[in-house]
Amino acid sequence: TGNPPYPTDDPALGTTIMAVVYDGGVVMGADSRTSAGSYIANRAADKITLVHDSIFVCRSGSAADTQALTDYLKLYLGMHSLDLEEAPSVQTAAHLINQLLYSNKNHLMAGMIVAGWDKRNGPSVFNIPLGGGVIPELYSIGGSGSSYIYGYVDANFKKNMTKEEAQTFVKNAVSLAIARDGSSGGLIRTVTISADGVERELVLGDKLPKIGFGQ
């Protein structure tokens, strides 16, 4: 009757996600809020999911849908790498997940950013929006929080940044989005991928970069 005492809304990744190419690799960033309506189901979620050694996916939209998609992608990429006898390219991962998404577009709500490093092409970022489609970009933002930072990223992105510059850029951008978007919050997770491997970083909620707002 009426309102049961447990959350009934489908858990969604309100989210701010992004990925940026720098000189030699990519930096991927995301907030950590999973909401079910106004209830925060997970305040420390990991929205940057591994699908292969040097390929990760930022997830936004329905938590269930995106987790199912990345689970499939991880399986398919694993099998594909056996056929190839080498790691698959980021482009392959992006097209594979796009096939899944596009074929099931009427039943899914998932916006993803596929990014990583591969031997042949170096660092790559691909945006896969809600309805499908594969868009290669040097920097890409997604999720509900991204609306508030288009201006910031467009104005501050530079080609061939250093790793540190790129990581600061990502943390700043996500921080600004969290400040304005109710569906984004918690901590900032970053994943840096290059020829040297994968580096994960965490910026706790009380240590977010003090940027903007006259600070």
Beta strand extents in the chain (DSSP E only): 12-13, 17-22, 25-30, 34-36, 39-42, 48-52, 55-62, 110-118, 122-128, 135-137, 139-142, 188-194, 197-203
Helix (H, G, I), strand (E, B) or coil at 200: strand
Scanning 37-45, 78-86, 179-187, 195-203 for contacts with other proteins by CB under 8 A, the matching segment is 78-86
Query: What is the size of the binding site for other proteins (CB under 8 A)?
Result: 15
Tokens 């030699």 locate to: 24
Q: Report if residue 163 touches other proteins, rule: CB under 8 A.
A: no
Q: Report if residue 95 touches other proteins, rule: CB under 8 A.
A: yes
Q: Report if residue 92 touches other proteins, rule: CB under 8 A.
A: yes
Q: Is 15 a catalytic residue?
A: yes
Shortest Cβ 165–other proteins spacing (Å):
30
Q: Report if residue 130 touches other proteins, rule: CB under 8 A.
A: no
CB nearer to other proteins: give 96 or 188.
96
Q: Which residues are catalytic?
A: 15
Binding site for other proteins (CB under 8 A): 80, 83-85, 88-89, 91-92, 94-96, 98-99, 120, 134
